[in-house]
Amino acid sequence: MVGAIGFGAMSFAGFFGETDDETSFACMDALVAAGIDFWDTANVYGMGRSERVIGAYLAEKKPEIVLATKVGIDRGPPRGFNNDAAYMRRELEGSLERLGRDKVELYYIHRREQARPVEEVVETLAGFIDEGLIDGYGLSEISPTTLRRAHRVHPCRAVQNEYSLWSRQPDLGLVSACADLGVAFVPFSPLARGFLSDRSVGPDDFAEGDFRARIPRFSEPHYAENVKAVEPFRTLCRDRGWSVGAAAIAWCLDQGDHILPIPGTRTAAHLAEWADADEITFTDDDRAEMDRLLPAGWAWGDRYDDGQSIGPERYS
């Protein structure tokens, strides 16, 4: 069992602007103080940088947390996806070394290698469970059919897909499939990569190399239209006494008891804006007004560009 809100540590690798270990340590101190005890990272976040800083923190502070990391994106060159058993074992051993752990509680397939049957991949993961290297496995950016195929081989613990007020594809069967099978659904980017906040992050804020610069929703003319669309929602949040970030996370939590969002941030200050999101309770009027202001499909532009969209499974 973990807290209602988890944490995504992609920011520790500098994907959303440069950071340093001192800042990351302060953020993790704030996570522990807030009772956020489910942390999510990946082998490719900064090519191990995120795992290393988490490992250093765990070695020094020794908090009681549940860890998830991932495998499956091969940075190459060339970049691709690899779910081969030998590759996954090698990458898992590297992750455990960087994290300073004998095992991780949850190990995700970050992206599925489409040419390889998912049943074969799950058999490899089940072997890792039998060896005590992982407690359970998860899948990321998959379809409901892939989940069902995998779950028949060995029960899946969690599915992680992008899900937020502006990315709603999982409502087309994945959220419900997880509920039916007793699988946790873990929304990543519930804050729309920083857009759903009291002030929308945009192109003028991006440092060199920020991968959001490629995302169509952050490019014109889409960005200006998205800012315009979200302003009434900001007004609603101010009227209710909520921060925009906390309301956005609370919306995810409100979609089902099996949902565990993992917002991310680089700093303790930003964490404070949404750490208490699980204390927000919506009325039926709140839900109706949010649906009116931000209906499914309201966002302008795609969530990925053509290059970034290679890997996530499409099922609609």
For 295, residues 6+ apart whose C-beta sits below 8 A from its C-beta are none
Assess contact for 195 and 201: CB atoms under 8 A.
yes
Read off the tokens for 276: 């208490």
311: closest CA among 192, 137, 139? 139
Assess contact for 217 and 195: CB atoms under 8 A.
yes
- CA gap 160, 76 in Å, rounded: 23
Q: Please state the three-class secondary structure of 134-191 as a single string.
A: EEEEEEECCCHHHHHHHHHHCCCCEEEEECECCECHHHCCHHHHHHHHCCEEEEECCC
H/E element, 104: strand 104-109
Assess contact for 24 and 60: CB atoms under 8 A.
no
Region label for 189, one of left (φ > 0), alpha (ψ between -120 and 50) or beta (otherwise): left
Among this protein's residues, is 87 annotated catalytic? Answer: no
271: closest CA among 245, 301, 293, 236? 245
Read off the tokens for 262: 């993992």
> Looking only at Cα atoms, what is the longest distance across the chain?
54
**DSSP category for residue 294:** S
Q: What angle do CA 222, 227, 228 make, to 5 degrees?
A: 100
Return the active site residues.
45
